[in-house]
Chains A and B, each alone.
Chain A
Amino acid sequence: MNALASPEVGKYVNDNFCSSFQKVATFKIVGGAKQGGNVATYFCAPDGRVLHAVAGPVDSATFLREAQWVVETTRKAMKESDGDGGKFKAYFRKAHAQKLRDEFGLAVEPVTFDPPDAQDEKDALTYRDPSGQPLAPRLPPPPIDGPDVRLEKAELNLRQTNAAKAAGAAPVLDRAGGRWVLGNQGKVSQILAAHAMVKIEKVYGTVFENVLGEKISTKPVEVDRPFSWMEKDGNRRVSTR
């Protein structure tokens, strides 16, 4: 457990977050067979609204950087919004759009207003898991406008080269059909530029399906341990077979 085993990450996380875990059943279809196994970390307000996420396994430096980003941005957003929830949400979405520019050189227009939700959970056409509950919707990411025009070509190329080295790097298209590259974290920022401060139960499906490329098969469930081979006290589980 690379990132979460790091004492530095542990201290920062324990100082700034209260943590828990859920199991999400997902799978990929590879050669006609189901394969699965992944992880996503959500940094939320205590009411479950997602401020930021880390998609997939990352190293401790990346994890710490993302955790620090969300804490610092929350502080600034609270100061700027002065108790106004609408401003707080807008600030966070703009911050994600800015993060995308800063790290990957791509521009998206943050969505700072949510229209009324058209999807009715009781609708007969809403797909449900076997427990009868609808699964998380796939939230549409805001379209990429194109490269940040303020960047010199060399700087844009450098950021895109770095993006190509990131975990989960894949080609994405902008509005004009231009071809760019985004890694998992870039895709998270793109999605959260429109959907930050949405409840975790609406966001997790998008992170697993749109970013990690895994199909959600049930809702998240609470389990008694996050890592099947590890006991609560950190000792390795002894197989009884």
Chain B
Amino acid sequence: MTLRQKGMALAVVAALGCGGPAVAKTPAGKPATCGEYGTSVQFEDTPADAAKQAKKDEKLVMILHVSGHFQNPEFT
């Protein structure tokens, strides 16, 4: 295994945690610091915030890229 691969392995394991991505560690009743924008999904303010939170909670990250004249609610 190359050094690069080792580094990536460590990053993945550290990032995802040993218990798997679905093990949520966010305490119940934690005040919301993010918005839902009319969806059922809680969005952090920036991808960096989401990544930081994901590392802490041992979750994956979901990033939505939206573009253009995005006025049609059917898009999402």
Q: Do chains A and B interact in one complex?
A: yes
Q: Using a CB–CB distance below 8 Å, which chain A residues touch chain B?
A: 1-7, 9-11, 13-27, 35-49, 51, 57, 67, 70-71, 74-75, 78, 81, 83-89, 197, 200, 204, 208, 214, 220, 222, 224-236
Contact B67 A38 (CB under 8 A): yes
A-B interface pairs (CB < 8 A), number: 251
**Complexed CA–CA distance, A20 and B41 (Å):** 9
Instruction: Name B23-70 residues within 8 Å CB distance of A.
Output: 24, 35-47, 49-55, 57, 59-70
- CB–CB B61/A17 < 8 A: yes
List residues of chain B with CB under 8 Å of any chain A CB. Answer: 1-2, 5-13, 15-16, 18, 20-22, 24, 35-47, 49-55, 57, 59-76
Chain A facing B: main interface SS: mixed
Residues of B within 8 A of A214 (CB): 67-68
Contact of A46 with B54 in the complex, beta carbons under 8 Å = yes
Contact A19 B61 (CB under 8 A): yes
Cβ-defined contact, A2 with B67, below 8 A: no
The distance in angstroms between the C-alpha atoms of A212 and B1, with both chains bound, is: 36
Chain A positions within 8 Å of B74 at CB level:
2, 57
Residues of A within 8 A of B50 (CB): 18-20
The minimal Cβ–Cβ distance linking A191 to chain B, given in whole angstroms, is 15
